[in-house]
Amino acid sequence: MSDQTVRVAVAAPLRKTLHYRLPERLMTQAKIGSRLRVPLGRRTVVGYLLGFVKEETISLKEVVEVLDPAPLFGESLVPFFEWAADYYCHPIGEVIRTALPAGLGGAGREPGILKERFFFLRPLAGKPRGAKQQALVDYLRQHSGGTLEQIKGQFGEVYDSLRRLQQQGFVEESQRERQRDPFADLPAGADLPVEPSASQRSALAAVEEALDDQSFRPMLLHGVTGSGKTEVYLRSVQQVLDRGRKALVLVPEIALTPQLVGRFRARFANRNARLAVLHSGLSSGERYDSWRAVARGEIDIVIGARSAIFAPLENIGLILIDEEHDGSYKQGDGFRYHARDLALLRGKMQHATVVLGSATPALTTFYRVQKGQAAYLPLAERILGRPLPEVQLIDLTEQRPEGILAETLRLALQDNFEKGEQSLLLLNRRGFAPFLLCADCGVTIRCPNCEIALTYYQKQRLLRCNYCDFALLPPDHCPACHGCDMVPEGAGTERLEEELAALLPDAVIGRMDRDTTSRKGSHQKLIDGMSARRIDILLGTQMVAKGHDFPGVTLVGVVNADSALNFPDFRAAERTFSLLAQVAGRAGRGEQPGRVLIQTYDPGHYVLNCVAGHDYRSFYDEELNLREVLGYPPFGHLVNCLIAGNDEQRVMAAAEQLAQAWQDLANGIPVEILGPAPCPLSRLRGKWRRQILLKSTNRLALRHLLRHFDRLRKEVPAGVSALIDVDPVDMF
């Protein structure tokens, strides 16, 4: 046996893979998917072994060390990583480092493997002395051994008895790995399967047919809120497990994971289905253990947020993407992948059925359905025939509120509380007020790092930037005119909470936003409080709209429906429709019918009228016409080039230079170059920012331009960065 050549993706900003010589002494340790320590220039870095190649090893540098006793991912993920790196124009090593859980992606120290004491019977005839020793032997025989903690849980303090059994030759002790349990604080809940409706049975039959075919099948499960999509998910997973294959389930938010995990644990706890969760809300040790258990093939179902799309799960038969429309599936920095799109790719590579579920599908997804590129599974009615909530638009030009709430909404909240029913309010702004305003000269206090006014938090007596977390005490005098009249303007969730407390002093009010859910368990505590009906009114930002099932909620109020409609983004209407339709769907999910009140200054807007009519199709048709005229997705494809740096003039000059380079390359190619222009947030976290938008109806034309990006980036001056965001979702 002689040295071999290996292909390695190093954890460094290099777009290509490198070849190294694997010495004979490391051959038995090195497997595809293992981390290696390799030389790069004058230093050593972590790399990932992607394959073995035929090449002379004489001139190659040598692999220094194999870091893993077992591979972290299988060979089937290698082309998936490479495709993602190429499509999103990101270095392959950085892609893999992003995919792996913290502690495994680089040279940093990974979480340690926990060990526990395990006792098992030796194959020895005879009986021990005493009833307690005999009971221990019977227990170990029945359970094929047990850990010290398990045995103590059954018998109490037994170490002396175990030691005597060891001395007599009945019992042996070993050390084995102990898995950290991410479910330790999560109640499993009760499994309450319901008899599927006709539309649910139809959807399940389509999924079953696709699973039997064992080929790539994308499907849209388009179910109105409360139509029982989760029951379809659960039964679909059972179908794939019955066929000896595995399931990957994605949710958009970490906060939603415990609820879904609880449902899955309740359904599959007694069916020998092994479940793992993967998301950044776990401790590093829990993620480490879960990832390695998946890589070892010990897991049947993986549930997680967007990063779970990289789980090293083999033999996938089904991929579920819940709330597929949600923008949280798009990574906002670094490796800017979209988990929904990668789920479709992974399904295609592994011949799996991919089910995209939503009450408000992304326009691009529904467009694919209309073009016959995905199957359509509609759930048009709520379970048990429950009606959709009545939606009423409150015209604020006619009914001007004294505070935040219009009279109609105030009276409805009072009436709902008196009837003992729950209410939910959406106000998509944190803090007490969006800014402090000098009533004398009109100046606001702005963040020194970002081009944005500081949000006022009254309880903390702080002004804070919600982007970079810069904070300062509110000034007593205006910094411009030295006036003494600094007034909070606008309203946030903190101010709404104060107004509700004054309106209904006996009501128990909960607030769900990033400020109240930052501590571990705080979000779940609010959910538990609503489910147990200990909370009368839950208010919050868009967090309250996502995926919650509170049967006691019969009234939903939307306080400021217009703010999101006026964002400078072609997706503003789609985002607003989705948010309002989703939050409206929280009402009337129990036995009592629901009611939704939406405060607006523009009750004639087509988005609001479509929400009021629960009419996704009319919204889709209206919005699609506008997109087609402007050439935006799904009729065109976008790439955003972001230029940023500390020096505004250097950033502007670099952006102009890069835009001209793109224009020269696009000569004769059907690509439109827009910009450079300031980003909507032109300064963020101390960086001045410009963007150039590449737009085309031809994806191949865009790919042609992107092949030149590495060369163009080298011409950007020092102190200025340029990055690419393919298929951008948020251009702020």
pLDDT at residue 396, rounded to an integer? 92
- 508 & 420 share domain: yes
pLDDT at residue 96, rounded to an integer? 95
- 572 & 522 share domain: yes
pLDDT of residue 245 exceeding 50, the answer is yes
Domain presence at residue 36 = yes
- 379 & 516 share domain: no
Q: Provide the pLDDT confidence category of residue 108 given band limits of 50, 70 and 90.
A: very low
pTM for this structure? Answer: 0.88
**What are 111-156's pLDDT values in tens digits?**
556 566 777 777 765 677 777 777 887 788 777 777 777 777 777 7
330-345 average pLDDT score:
94
Report the CATH number that the domain containing residue 12 is assigned in CATH: 3.40.1440.60
pLDDT at residue 584, rounded to an integer? 93
Using the 3D structure, point to which of 99, 128, 149 is the last residue of a domain: 99
pLDDT at residue 553, rounded to an integer? 94
- 153 & 280 share domain: no
Is residue 634 within 8 Å of 627, Cβ to Cβ? yes
34-39 average pLDDT score:
94
Bridge partners, 221 (sequence order): 357, 377
Residue 72: which domain range?
4-99
- 95 & 136 share domain: no
Q: Provide the pLDDT confidence category of residue 371 given band limits of 50, 70 and 90.
A: very high
Domain presence at residue 502 = yes
Domain presence at residue 463 = no
Domain presence at residue 29 = yes
- 61 & 148 share domain: no
- 352 & 368 share domain: yes
- 128 & 223 share domain: no
626-645 average pLDDT score:
94
Alpha-carbon distance 581 to 365, whole Å? 17
341-359 average pLDDT score:
97
Report the CATH number that the domain containing residue 548 is assigned in CATH: 3.40.50.300
Handedness of CA 201, 202, 206, 209 (dihedral sign): positive
679-691 average pLDDT score:
92
Using the 3D structure, point to which of 599, 626, 653 is the last residue of a domain: 626
pLDDT at residue 189, rounded to an integer? 63
Q: Mean pLDDT in the chain?
A: 89
* Greatest pairwise CA separation for the chain in angstroms: 95
Domain presence at residue 460 = no
Residue 88: exposed, middle, or buried by beta-carbon count in 10 A (0-12, 13-18, 19+)?
buried
Low-confidence winner among 113-122, 338-347, 681-690 (lowest mean pLDDT): 113-122
Q: Provide the pLDDT confidence category of residue 409 given band limits of 50, 70 and 90.
A: very high
**What are 42-93's pLDDT values in tens digits?**
899 999 999 999 877 678 999 999 988 889 999 999 999 999 999 999 999 9
Highest mean pLDDT pick, 176-180, 495-499, 525-529: 495-499
pLDDT at residue 257, rounded to an integer? 74
Q: Give the residue among 262, 124, 99 at the shortest CA–CA distance from 182.
A: 262
The structural domain count of the chain equals 5
- 712 & 591 share domain: no
Domain presence at residue 464 = no
pLDDT of residue 728 exceeding 90, the answer is yes
What percent of the chain lies above the pLDDT cut of 70? 94
Using the 3D structure, point to which of 603, 626, 649 is the last residue of a domain: 626
Domain presence at residue 706 = yes
pLDDT of residue 182 exceeding 70, the answer is no
306-329 average pLDDT score:
95
**What are 442-458's pLDDT values in tens digits?**
889 999 999 889 999 98
Token pair 């997109």 in the structure block, residue: 627
- 565 & 691 share domain: no
380-401 average pLDDT score:
90
- 353 & 290 share domain: yes
Report the CATH number that the domain containing residue 145 is assigned in CATH: 1.10.10
Helix, coil or strand: residue 524: helix
- 393 & 423 share domain: yes
Report the CATH number that the domain containing residue 646 is assigned in CATH: 3.30.70.600
Domain presence at residue 631 = no
